[in-house]
């Protein structure tokens, strides 16, 4: 305690210890100490001097304190805890960078809206230093993939790998494009390199599954796709590819479950909608197939494959005019797709427009000269038009290309001189 503390004792009498006579011959003894007693302090006289008020300012105490200037001006929006947004662009930001960001944003927006041509146009307007990047080439590959232009898709995604060799995003599209092109050598190299780089990447296991699927090892491919699902449970494309393999094994219930799981993860994943529609088309549930193909086409209106399958579904439902419209849209969207023109010829034959059907089949034969079904159908159309010599030639071509169906083709050759009888007339 301090000496001048207010709790010090004021008029306290100090008790003297008793005196003891000392013996000169006795050894010295230590006197015990008593409790320490504080001596009272006399009260001090009241002081007339007042202490100065504390001042933290650098100015004298006589001048009033100045309020420190705020670094950020207080506005109505800053009082609420956030800075106001301004429409004007800061003058310090270069205009070239803003142009690049605007182009990249417009390309990404157009791709999300399925405007692939506009997205490609925006990407090609980028400067070379920004166009030759992994992100831009990945976006370019996705645009070509949505258009089913697999050669251009492979070129773009290979450029992406050259720009960024360690980039794994986009390899699932590259492997699927190589699967469509039946390039097993490049696909095997891609799958092995991707799994070696990152065995915990879903894109790597999707590439491995596509590689095994191309070699007709569907069970092993399903295991790879399940591994991709295990490392990334929210990767919707792995569920879709797994569903495709279940369809190849004719396990339709498991395929439907996979497609529906992909749709729950991504409602705009049109590949899953297409997969469900294809299953219902094979099961001859044409109403359900039409619904699913229409939903997939609303998400990707530029897909020739979706237009083709929807036209085939309309044809099965006896809606020939709607079928012909969609099949012609599919042929216009992808001129190198012979399937759309072949189905268009089938619709024209059912509408008794044999001359137009023959023109479509001739165009298909130019793209697929070794397809026996095309020559067989051309022989039947030539017979309808009365061109028996051309019909015999087409039947012979079909017999040489497909010896397995020799009974069907030989019976058509034997009945070449006889008039055709429809199934209704036979019944």
Q: Is-contact 286 317, C-beta < 8 A?
A: yes
DSSP structure class, residue 136: H
Residues near 410 by beta carbon (within 8 Å), at least 6 away in sequence: 399
Minimal CA–CA distance to 416: which of 375, 374, 387, 377?
A: 387
More confident residue, 286 or 414: 286
Predicted confidence at residue 276, as pLDDT, reads: 95
**Banded pLDDT at 85 (limits 50, 70, 90):** very low
Please tell me whether the overall predicted TM-score, pTM, comes out greater than 0.85 for this model.
no
Q: Is-contact 254 274, C-beta < 8 A?
A: no
Both tokens assigned to 276 = 């469900």
Predicted confidence at residue 249, as pLDDT, reads: 93
Minimal CA–CA distance to 334: which of 148, 154, 118?
A: 148
Residue 51 above 60 pLDDT?
Answer: no
Predicted confidence at residue 313, as pLDDT, reads: 95
Residue 88 above 70 pLDDT?
Answer: no
Q: 92-107, pLDDT tens digit by residue? A: 457 788 888 999 999 9
Predicted confidence at residue 417, as pLDDT, reads: 76
**Banded pLDDT at 89 (limits 50, 70, 90):** very low
Q: Give the range among 10-19, 40-49, 161-170, 327-336 with minimum mean pLDDT.
A: 10-19
Helix (H) or strand (E) holding 143: helix 134-146
Burial bucket for residue 344 (CB in 10 Å: 0-12, 13-18, 19+): buried
Predicted confidence at residue 397, as pLDDT, reads: 87
Predicted confidence at residue 404, as pLDDT, reads: 72
Q: 212-242, pLDDT tens digit by residue? A: 999 999 999 999 999 999 999 999 999 999 9
Q: 12-46, pLDDT tens digit by residue? A: 444 445 544 444 555 555 555 555 544 555 555 55
Mean pLDDT of the chain: 81
Mean pLDDT of 264-291: 94
Minimal CA–CA distance to 139: which of 96, 98, 105, 178?
A: 105
More confident residue, 84 or 122: 122
Which DSSP string corresponds to 321-350? HHHHHHHHHHHHH-TT-HHHHHHHHHHHHH
Predicted confidence at residue 421, as pLDDT, reads: 57
Distances (CA, A) of 1 to 33, 180, 331: 20, 93, 102
**Banded pLDDT at 399 (limits 50, 70, 90):** confident
Distances (CA, A) of 291 to 276, 278, 309, 313: 10, 11, 12, 10
More confident residue, 411 or 347: 347
Question: CA-to-CA distance for 261 and 255, rounded, in angstroms?
Answer: 10
Both tokens assigned to 79 = 């009082």
């Amino acid at each position: 305690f301090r000496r001048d503390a207010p709790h010090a004792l004021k008029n306290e009498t100090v008790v003297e210890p008793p005196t003891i006579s000392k013996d000169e011959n006795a050894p010295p003894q230590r006197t015990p100490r008593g409790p320490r007693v504080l001596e009272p302090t006399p009260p001090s006289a009241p002081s007339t001097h007042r202490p100065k008020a504390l001042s933290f300012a650098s100015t004298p105490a006589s001048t009033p304190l100045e309020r420190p200037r705020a670094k950020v001006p207080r506005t109505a929006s800053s009082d609420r805890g956030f800075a106001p947004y301004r429409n004007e662009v800061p003058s310090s930001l270069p205009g070239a960078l803003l142009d690049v960001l605007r182009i990249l944003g417009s390309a990404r927006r157009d791709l999300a809206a399925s405007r692939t041509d506009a997205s490609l146009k925006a990407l090609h307007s980028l400067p070379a230093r920004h166009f030759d990047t992994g992100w831009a080439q990945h976006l370019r590959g996705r645009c070509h993939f949505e258009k089913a232009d697999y050669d251009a898709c492979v070129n773009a995604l290979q450029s992406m790998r050259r720009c960024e060799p360690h980039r794994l995003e986009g390899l699932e599209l590259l492997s699927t494009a190589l699967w469509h092109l039946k390039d097993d050598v490049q696909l095997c190299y891609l799958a092995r390199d991707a799994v070696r780089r990152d065995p915990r990447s879903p894109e790597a296991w999707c590439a491995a599954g596509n590689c095994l699927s191309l070699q007709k090892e569907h069970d092993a491919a399903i295991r790879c796709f399940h591994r991709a699902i295990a490392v990334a449970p929210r990767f919707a494309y792995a569920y879709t590819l797994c569903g495709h393999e279940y369809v190849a094994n004719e396990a339709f219930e498991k395929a439907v479950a996979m497609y529906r799981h992909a749709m729950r993860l991504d409602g705009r994943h049109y590949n899953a909608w297409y997969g469900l529609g294809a299953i219902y088309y094979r099961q001859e549930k044409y109403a359900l197939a039409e619904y699913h193909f229409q939903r997939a086409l609303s998400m990707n209106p530029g897909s020739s494959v979706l237009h083709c399958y929807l036209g085939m579904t309309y044809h099965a439902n006896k809606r020939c005019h709607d079928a012909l419209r969609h099949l012609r849209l599919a042929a216009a969207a992808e001129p190198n797709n012979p399937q759309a023109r072949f189905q268009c010829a089938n619709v024209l034959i059912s509408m008794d427009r044999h001359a137009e059907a023959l023109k479509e089949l001739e165009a298909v034969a130019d793209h697929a000269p070794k397809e026996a079904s095309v020559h067989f159908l051309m022989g039947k159309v030539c017979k309808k038009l009365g061109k028996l010599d051309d019909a015999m030639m087409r039947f012979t071509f079909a017999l040489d290309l497909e010896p397995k169906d020799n009974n069907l083709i030989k019976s058509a050759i034997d009945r070449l001189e006889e008039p055709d009888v429809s199934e209704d007339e036979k019944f």
